[in-house]
């Protein structure tokens, strides 16, 4: 006869304000098999925990149900508590009275009744729980970092400096990401490349880091500590070992009028190109969609000029399979194409540009070598209007969130513009100034007070061209929303930050969840901001949500420390929630009839045949057998098994039926 202990948590008032906890514990006390039932203000607190410890000992409980918050929150806590008092942790279950009851229902009798139902269901389940013992699996001490922007570089360096191996994969021909495109960085105005390029070089030369640029992660299989990743190394059409990066090929290339991605279309590149001078590695790639040879079958100018004979037109994409123990996703963000903003005329008027384009114009390595010039005619604009929230906080355009970085970079843009063009006027149309960060608000104040940037609180309704000027129609909401019309030479749109292209596909390949805007989801919004719901996979930087550089770097280091922690032991213990094929006494041995339907059901190929042999070695029966190392515990096989010979530990038929039946008892 089982002796279950039930512990009802008030969670301060989070639960008790709508659920009558006392009544719940009284009701549970009457359930047959319940030896102990109490309610307490904070079960997760120290006194709360010792309450459980003592009860386990005094009443020698055979099972525990903690009715509190979601198991996704505190299951580990309370299972640990049980273990500490000698009760197998898997004899402890949590009833979710907070997220799925008290927070979603009003204070009324039916809410308490539901609470009682929920607890009794788990009491019935836990009665049937069996002691389980963690499985130990070896850890492959190599981390895979996807994305070579500042976040990826930071994570890779931190892990590598902790003497662990790292494989850094970057989709573009060079690492560096968006940060390498920036001019100067807020709030200190230090040159972005000056602080970034040393890191890029360090990452490329680090003995513990293997760098794959112009490469993408195709698939990921396995589980924490034991992943297998397939990397597609796209054909550069250049032999990286031979290439010296002299640049003769690019000079020789006849196709020179290709809009440069790095210069956001404001500059041109050739068909064989290095994205930017400080690129790492400093080796070119051939853009096969533009190269005359690949399009027309002749040209090869680059090959003839290459002193190292490094050009390889016949190079193929390579696939590399790597074993890794953990993954850091740092694939970054992108900026929303503003063509969906017809009222601002982006794409119609050359001098209406995005913030990222303005970064290139301000950058010393940019198309104008850092001089502020209009894309249309190369003249120096005397009046620039900066429009914040161009796409962000705009449900009508499908983006209701705040992109977070625009307020700061817009202030920076206006400031740098005034520094470079002294007699210039800079106007900023804004809705709110969100400058929450160390030295951030001071920075914005400086732009306003010292550099005399004109801040106008209001959204712009329309931008159109009238005899060579861009007419910006805005309103000043601090003056009764009076219409304001500015004749500008140039307009800079602080466009929304959006998830990078391919984010969805990657999330699906990695089996991590993502939100409605295709940003990757963290395991807990507050307490597990760098973990994903998939053990062993962590997030860094703007792939999780719009972030500035300090935040991205911070999160990258956090992710790195998670990886290092994981690698600190040679083995890691996995929850024993796995499928098992039953064994019975001879002559049956197992109720498994060997239909092997489960083979096809298993997503992990974790199930194989096992021969049961007699003393003479003759095969008596072939049955299914689960590899505990590979099984992830989804239980699909269990639902498939006709003879009910395979069952999932922790979610057995016995347990689940009992749980459900209790609801209608």
Residues 508-537 that bind other proteins (CB under 8 A): 508, 511, 513-516, 521, 525, 533-534
| Segment near other proteins (CB under 8 A); pick from 241-249, 285-293, 419-427, 479-487 | 479-487
| Residues numbered 77-96 forming contacts with other proteins, rule: CB under 8 A | 96
| x/- letters, 552..581, toward other proteins (CB under 8 A) | -------------------------x----
Residue from the set 475, 486, 598, 607 that interacts with other proteins by CB under 8 A: 475
Give the strand pairing for 454-457 and 425-430.
Answer: parallel
Give the strand pairing for 490-495 and 383-390.
Answer: parallel
Contacts of 199 (CB under 8 A, 6+ apart): 150, 153, 154, 157
Least gap, CB of 546 to other proteins (angstroms): 16
| x/- letters, 371..400, toward other proteins (CB under 8 A) | ------------------x---xxxxx---
Residue from the set 40, 103, 313, 596 that interacts with other proteins by CB under 8 A: 103
649 contributes a contact to other proteins by CB under 8 A? no
| Residues numbered 587-606 forming contacts with other proteins, rule: CB under 8 A | 601, 603-604
Contact 245, 273 (CB under 8 A): no
Q: How is residue 606 written in tokens?
A: 């974790």
642 contributes a contact to other proteins by CB under 8 A? no
Residue from the set 56, 121, 168, 182 that interacts with other proteins by CB under 8 A: 121
543 contributes a contact to other proteins by CB under 8 A? no
In angstroms, what CA-CA distances link 329 with 118, 146, 174, 306?
Answer: 37, 5, 17, 37
The H-assigned helical ranges of 272-317 are 292-296, 301-305
- Under the phi-then-psi rule, with left for phi > 0, alpha for psi from -120 to 50, and beta for the rest, what region is 332? left
Single out the residue of 494, 512, 382 nearest to residue 433, CA to CA. 494
Question: Cα separation of 165 and 157, whole Å?
Answer: 10
Q: Decide: helix, strand or coil at residue 219.
A: strand
Contact 538, 510 (CB under 8 A): no
Size of the site for other proteins (CB under 8 A): 83
| Segment near other proteins (CB under 8 A); pick from 276-284, 375-383, 476-484, 565-573 | 476-484
Question: Cα separation of 328 and 396, whole Å?
Answer: 34
| Segment near other proteins (CB under 8 A); pick from 1-9, 109-117, 150-158, 306-314 | 109-117
Question: Cα separation of 528 and 541, whole Å?
Answer: 14
Q: How is residue 487 written in tokens?
A: 């004749």
Least gap, CB of 387 to other proteins (angstroms): 11
Least gap, CB of 627 to other proteins (angstroms): 15
Beta strands in 224-281 (DSSP E): 226-233, 258-259, 268-269, 272-273
Residue from the set 320, 421, 435, 484 that interacts with other proteins by CB under 8 A: 484
| Segment near other proteins (CB under 8 A); pick from 239-247, 288-296, 540-548, 635-643 | 635-643
Query: Hunting for tokens 């509190």 — which residue is that?
Result: 68
Least gap, CB of 65 to other proteins (angstroms): 14
| Residues numbered 428-457 forming contacts with other proteins, rule: CB under 8 A | 431, 457
483 contributes a contact to other proteins by CB under 8 A? yes
How many Cα neighbours within 13 Å face the side chain of 466?
10
| Residues numbered 324-353 forming contacts with other proteins, rule: CB under 8 A | 342-343, 348
406 contributes a contact to other proteins by CB under 8 A? no
- Under the phi-then-psi rule, with left for phi > 0, alpha for psi from -120 to 50, and beta for the rest, what region is 79? alpha
17 contributes a contact to other proteins by CB under 8 A? no
Contact 225, 326 (CB under 8 A): yes
Residue from the set 449, 467, 617, 618 that interacts with other proteins by CB under 8 A: 467
| x/- letters, 491..510, toward other proteins (CB under 8 A) | ----------------xx--
| Segment near other proteins (CB under 8 A); pick from 99-107, 355-363, 366-374, 433-441 | 99-107
297 contributes a contact to other proteins by CB under 8 A? no
Single out the residue of 23, 31, 25, 26 nearest to residue 3, CA to CA. 31
206 contributes a contact to other proteins by CB under 8 A? no
The H-assigned helical ranges of 491-596 are 503-510, 549-567
Least gap, CB of 543 to other proteins (angstroms): 15
207 contributes a contact to other proteins by CB under 8 A? no
205 contributes a contact to other proteins by CB under 8 A? no
Single out the residue of 164, 529, 506 nearest to residue 156, CA to CA. 164
| Residues numbered 133-192 forming contacts with other proteins, rule: CB under 8 A | none
| Residues numbered 23-42 forming contacts with other proteins, rule: CB under 8 A | none
DSSP 629: T
Q: Which residue's CB is nearer to other proteins, number 101 or number 362? A: 101
Q: Which residue's CB is nearer to other proteins, number 301 or number 401? A: 401
């Amino acid at each position: 006869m089982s002796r279950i202990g039930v512990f009802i948590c008030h969670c301060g008032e989070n639960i008790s304000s709508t659920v009558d906890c006392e009544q719940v514990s009284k009701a549970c006390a009457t359930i047959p098999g319940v030896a102990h039932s109490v309610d307490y203000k904070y079960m997760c607190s120290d006194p709360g925990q010792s309450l459980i410890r003592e009860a386990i000992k005094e009443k020698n409980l055979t099972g525990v149900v903690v009715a509190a918050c979601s198991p996704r929150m505190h299951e580990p806590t309370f299972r640990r508590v049980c273990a500490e008092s000698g009760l197998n942790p898997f004899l402890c279950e949590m009833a979710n009275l907070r997220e799925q009851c008290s927070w979603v229902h009003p204070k009324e009798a039916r809410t308490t009744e539901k609470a009682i139902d929920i607890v009794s269901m788990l009491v019935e389940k836990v009665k049937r729980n069996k002691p389980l013992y963690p499985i130990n699996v070896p850890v492959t001490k190599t981390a895979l970092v996807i994305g070579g922007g500042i976040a990826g570089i930071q994570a890779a360096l931190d892990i590598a400096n902790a003497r662990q191996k790292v494989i850094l994969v970057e989709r573009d021909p060079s690492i560096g990401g968006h940060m390498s495109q920036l001019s100067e960085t807020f709030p200190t105005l230090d040159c972005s490349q000056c602080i970034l390029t040393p890191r890029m070089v360090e990452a490329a030369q680090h003995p513990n880091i293997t760098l794959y640029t112009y490469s993408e992660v195709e698939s990921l299989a396995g589980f924490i500590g034991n992943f297998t990743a397939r990397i597609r190394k796209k054909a550069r059409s250049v032999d990286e070992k031979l290439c010296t990066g002299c640049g003769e090929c690019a000079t020789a290339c006849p196709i020179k009028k290709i809009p440069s991605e790095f210069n956001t279309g404001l500059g041109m590149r050739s068909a064989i190109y290095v994205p930017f001078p400080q690129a790492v590695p400093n080796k070119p790639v051939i853009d096969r969609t533009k190269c005359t040879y690949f399009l027309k079958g002749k040209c090869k100018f680059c090959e003839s000029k290459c002193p190292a004979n490094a050009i390889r037109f016949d190079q193929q994409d390579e696939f590399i399979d790597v074993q890794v123990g953990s993954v850091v996703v740092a694939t970054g963000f992108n900026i929303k194409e503003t063509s969906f903003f017809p009222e601002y005329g982006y794409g119609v008027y050359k001098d209406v540009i995005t913030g990222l384009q303005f970064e290139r114009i301000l950058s010393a390595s940019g198309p104008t070598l850092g001089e502020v010039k209009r894309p249309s005619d190369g003249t120096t604009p005397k009046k620039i209007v900066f429009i914040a929230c161009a796409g962000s906080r705009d449900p009508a355009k499908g983006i209701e969130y705040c992109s977070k970085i625009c307020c700061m970079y817009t202030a920076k843009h206006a400031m740098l513009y005034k520094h470079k063009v002294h007699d210039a006027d800079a106007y900023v149309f804004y809705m709110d100034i969100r400058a929450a960060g160390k030295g951030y608000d001071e920075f914005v104040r400086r732009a306003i007070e010292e550099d005399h940037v004109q801040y106008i609180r209001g959204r712009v309704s329309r931008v159109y061209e009238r005899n060579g000027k861009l007419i910006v129609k805005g309103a000043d909401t601090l003056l009764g929303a009076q219409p304001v019309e500015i004749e500008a030479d140039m307009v800079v749109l602080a466009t929304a930050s959006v998830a990078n292209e391919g984010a969805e596909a990657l999330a699906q390949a990695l089996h991590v969840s993502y939100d409605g805007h295709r940003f990757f989801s963290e395991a807990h919004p507050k307490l597990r901001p760098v973990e994903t719901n998939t053990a062993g996979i962590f997030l860094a930087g703007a792939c999780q949500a719009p972030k500035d550089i300090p935040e991205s770097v911070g999160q990258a280091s956090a992710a790195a420390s998670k990886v290092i922690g994981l690698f600190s032991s040679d083995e890691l213990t996995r929850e024993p929630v796995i499928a098992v094929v039953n064994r019975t006494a001879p002559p049956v041995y197992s109720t498994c009839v060997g239909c092997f339907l489960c083979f096809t059901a298993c997503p992990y190929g974790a199930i194989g045949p096992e021969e049961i042999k007699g003393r003479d070695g003759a095969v008596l029966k072939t049955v299914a057998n689960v590899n505990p190392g590979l099984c992830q515990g989804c239980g699909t096989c269990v639902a498939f098994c006709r003879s009910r010979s395979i069952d999932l530990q922790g979610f057995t038929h016995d347990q689940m039926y009992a749980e459900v039946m209790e609801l209608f008892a």
